[in-house]
Structure 1
């Protein structure tokens, strides 16, 4: 609906000499891509497809979106989509004059499919994070404080982290997992924590000016994704913010996101959706808190995700497709 409205507005507003220099279609909303291509064709202007999600790869996990209790008709529809839609999406992506991705791994995958002009422009921390106090060498209650702050959706798979906290507690590790955020799975995560009697707090989102308080509370911060194939091509935008905090990162991720944590020296990685491995990591960190003082992730950000560099790269891309 939004894509159709944008197309109608564009056709009505941009006529004659008022035409834009370039049309940029920002996709996670998939209908935006054909709408942008159509608008560019009518206005005779180049089109940049900005892919914020790994389309069409993410369709491989479509059955997981609906959950195992999806009605049969819906499951069959999703299966049909996985068989026919990816090729159509790739065909549309090839029609764009340039494609922007947020990860280099997805850019490589698109180039292998024959897309020519693909440029990676990473995300960057949304706002600067104030200096945080160092993580103490010990706590009076002996607890390891783990913070997740962000969307509580299917793609994050936070029920696995809840199980990890329960397992760690069962093994005698004093851990507290605090989940701050909301999303489609928030109620399910709360229910799982209650069912397992896990040491987990699920709190409502906090305003941006109070985010620093949450990071200051934490010993380690969690980044978590599902083990869907497309997630290996994804880097959560929140990861860049976590790198900027200087806090240790507990990464339950694979692919490029895992590589960033390892390369930056900002934390430890376990396989996604492996509660046993995550519980073992938290037990190790609780026993050896010296590991909670990792290398500064801000050094990696300065080299790979400085806002000035990202803006310059995007500007160069736009100038290239417009011939400016």
Structure 2
């Protein structure tokens, strides 16, 4: 069975989309039992300016990876358009087979979903779409309406094209269901969420008893409009300065704004650039509390951040500024989580005071959301689609 996986991000990039794509690639090979030829089309590492590894991580893998070289200046709206154009050209020209049984696109960016749909048609393949975000729902709250409104009609048509072209559609958050059922009510959506990678299983052992002193609070991940850290963290760190210290690990579009706000308030926040996973685990081990925050925007009432899975896997207490589906999920699924409304400093101070500093094994959560199990089930779903495609007479 020939399968083409299209993902804008892939390791050694450091982001949720890259880790999910790799886990899916490995599961497809594993579940295929030697009967799968898998090709991956992706970009060279580009998620963060400060993280530029050289070698492809999949050099010795049981699948082939084709990377698109991106323009040197690839940030900002114009840069992103040029980067995606380069990615699309490579996907169209370097996918080595003239025909595939299945094309998969894992997409938080709308155009990757559309590219996957186009490639599936060109390659005579069934199309499996894995949706990690609602692009249109997000950009209308992040970018000025004057820039978004003229494009919204076009973007909506592209979104409908991608969803309607798919033989099967997976959503990483059940909170997305009402939105996509409105676009296409006739399909049965699967819900293979993000999960816990094996790397984080070892970190779930109880730590040594903490010494007295300030509580060490760590945030790790993207620093962008979706997280809204500049709207909560500077003021919160000042309010808790006598009780806690904050470390922020990562990079993103609003990192500079966050740092400027911290400087203006004299906020005691330490900043660290993106780090590899082994280093990240060291930071988690040293932390007393892990911090999660989503911006106070309607688009983020539907999401289920990938970061919370690895946070919860560590057994550490979590201080979370979230609402909507994510709030409900954490309330039902996880202990040792203190929740406050996004961007609410007073609520965050109160939640911190109520948070018990202890180890939380969360055994059932780690079992239910083990990434290898989720991806094995998703791979089986994709392979079943490919089998159907093979059985259809040419």
TM-score range, shorter chain: 0.7 to 0.9
1:21 paired residue number: 101
CA distance in 2, matches of 1:302, 1:190: 38
Change (3 A) 1:165 1:283: farther
2:155 paired residue number: 85
Say which SS state the counterpart of residue 31 (structure 1) adopts. helix
2:207 paired residue number: 134
2:260 paired residue number: 191
Tell me, yes or no, if structure 1 residue 244 matches structure 2 residue 279: no
Change (3 A) 1:85 1:309: closer
Tell me, yes or no, if structure 1 residue 122 matches structure 2 residue 193: yes
CA distance in 2, matches of 1:279, 1:22: 50
Question: Aligned runs of 1:131-280 on 2, under 5 Å?
Answer: 131=203, 132-134=205-207, 136=209, 139-141=211-213, 143-159=214-230, 160-169=232-241, 173-262=242-331, 263-280=333-350
CA distance in 1, matches of 2:158, 2:120: 19
CA distance in 2, matches of 1:2, 1:125: 32
CA distance in 2, matches of 1:230, 1:60: 9
Change (3 A) 1:161 1:297: farther
Structure 1, unmatched stretches of 5+, are 67-74, 286-290
2:165 paired residue number: 95
Structure 2, unmatched stretches of 5+, are 1-84
1:70 paired residue number: none
| TM-score, length basis structure 2 | 0.69
Count of equivalent residues: 300
| TM-score, length basis structure 1 | 0.83
Tell me, yes or no, if structure 1 residue 44 matches structure 2 residue 117: no
CA deviation profile, 1:203-223 (whole Å, cap 9, x unmatched): 223332222221122111011
The structural deviation recorded for 1:197 is 1.2
The structural deviation recorded for 1:240 is 0.9
2:133 paired residue number: 53
- Report if the CA contact (8 A) 1:181-1:204 is conserved: yes
2:22 paired residue number: none
2:177 equivalent among 101, 107, 125:
107
Say which SS state the counterpart of residue 110 (structure 2) adopts. coil
- Report if the CA contact (8 A) 2:197-2:372 is conserved: no
- Report if the CA contact (8 A) 1:249-1:261 is conserved: no
CA distance in 2, matches of 1:163, 1:147: 16
1:71 paired residue number: none
CA distance in 2, matches of 1:91, 1:258: 32
The structural deviation recorded for 1:41 is 1.9
CA distance in 1, matches of 2:222, 2:373: 27
C-alpha RMSD of matched pairs (Å):
2.4
CA distance in 2, matches of 1:322, 1:60: 39
CA distance in 2, matches of 1:208, 1:295: 21
More helix by share: 1
The structural deviation recorded for 1:39 is 2.1
1:320 paired residue number: 385
